[in-house]
Amino acid sequence: MHNLPGHYREILLGVGEDPAREGLRDTPLRAAKAMQYLCDGYNRSLEEIVNGALFASDNDEMVIVKDIELYSLCEHHILPFIGKAHVAYIPTGRVLGLSKVARIVDMYARRLQIQENLTRQIAEAIQEVTGAAGVAVVIEAKHMCMMMRGVEKQNSVMNTSVMLGAFRSSCNTRMEFLQLIGRGQ
């Protein structure tokens, strides 16, 4: 754990707490375990996640997995951002096992992140794995760094999107995706 519990103990001291206080005695260890879990994406690889779950298919129509919950930590303040991802791709002979899309989202979300990069990483991973004719990813999330500190805006939601291939080159394909996820006009 690279002395992560010791570092959390120092943080408690730094904010004026007593790590020996009954309620905090085990907090450094619990916090270290929680941080390892929340950053578990560094211990995963795309190959391990996909694990060969690509299947032959004649389908060349859009595949969408929407409302994939995501929980990440912003790399600027190490505070959570929470939201959902909508992922679509247009197969070219192979489809990805359904759970693998959510696992790819989790793998990248469980790293210190900014939402803009997370969106791109997911899109590029889906593209790499499937060889799709196009990939689209939209993420909408609330950021605790904006809600709990700084400007303290409780109702702001950040939306990011990455469109690759047919989703970028075809307005109709992009609009169909946005309508299907409830974001089109």
Given the residues 113, 115, 121, 127, the one annotated as active site: 115
Given the residues 17, 36, 124, 145, the one annotated as active site: 145
Backbone angles phi, psi at 91, to 5 degrees: -65, 150
Given the residues 69, 75, 116, 128, the one annotated as active site: 75
Q: Is 76 a catalytic residue?
A: yes
Q: Which of 145, 44, 59, 39 is nearest to 104 (CA)?
A: 44
Q: Is 152 a catalytic residue?
A: no
Q: Is 75 a catalytic residue?
A: yes
CB burial of residue 7 (10 Å; 0-12, 13-18, 19+):
middle
Q: Which residues of 93-118 are buried (b: 16+ CB within 10 A; e: fewer)?
A: eebbeeebbbbbbbbbbbbebebeeb
| Residue 121, H or E segment | helix 115-130
Backbone angles phi, psi at 124, to 5 degrees: -65, -35
Q: Is 121 a catalytic residue?
A: no
Q: Is 171 a catalytic residue?
A: no
Q: Is 7 a catalytic residue?
A: no
Given the residues 10, 48, 69, 76, the one annotated as active site: 76
Given the residues 113, 140, 143, 176, the one annotated as active site: 143
Would you name the residues annotated as active-site residues? 74-77, 115, 143, 145
